[in-house]
Amino acid sequence: MKHIEALLKSCLIVSINNDIKERYEEILKQYHLKLPDAIIAATAVSINIPLITSDKQFATVKEVKLVYYQM
């Protein structure tokens, strides 16, 4: 449980703002991702952080910096 609490304390919580909303709309139209995926991609682009994922569909979004992991 302490490991989970430590992980959560190190996480960044981001509220959806106008920049994320605009990028989300562009990504949704251009790349035809599912709604949650488009919001995730837009958030990563907006705050300029890499997206850690095992979902290779994000590779279609050229603006996103990806870090892949396998489970």
Q: What is the CATH number of the domain that holds 47?
A: 3.40.50.1010
15 CA to centre of own chain = 13
Predicted pLDDT of residue 57: 92
Element (H, E) at 44: helix 35-46
Establish if 4 belongs to a structural domain: no
Supply the range of the domain harboring residue 58: 16-68
Predicted pLDDT of residue 4: 82
Cβ neighbours, 10 Å, residue 23: 19
Per-residue pLDDT of the chain (71 residues; tens, 9 = 90+): 788 888 888 888 899 999 999 999 999 999 999 999 999 999 999 999 999 999 999 999 999 999 998 87
Predicted pLDDT of residue 3: 84
Structural domains in the chain (count) = 1
Predicted pLDDT of residue 9: 86
Establish if 62 belongs to a structural domain: yes
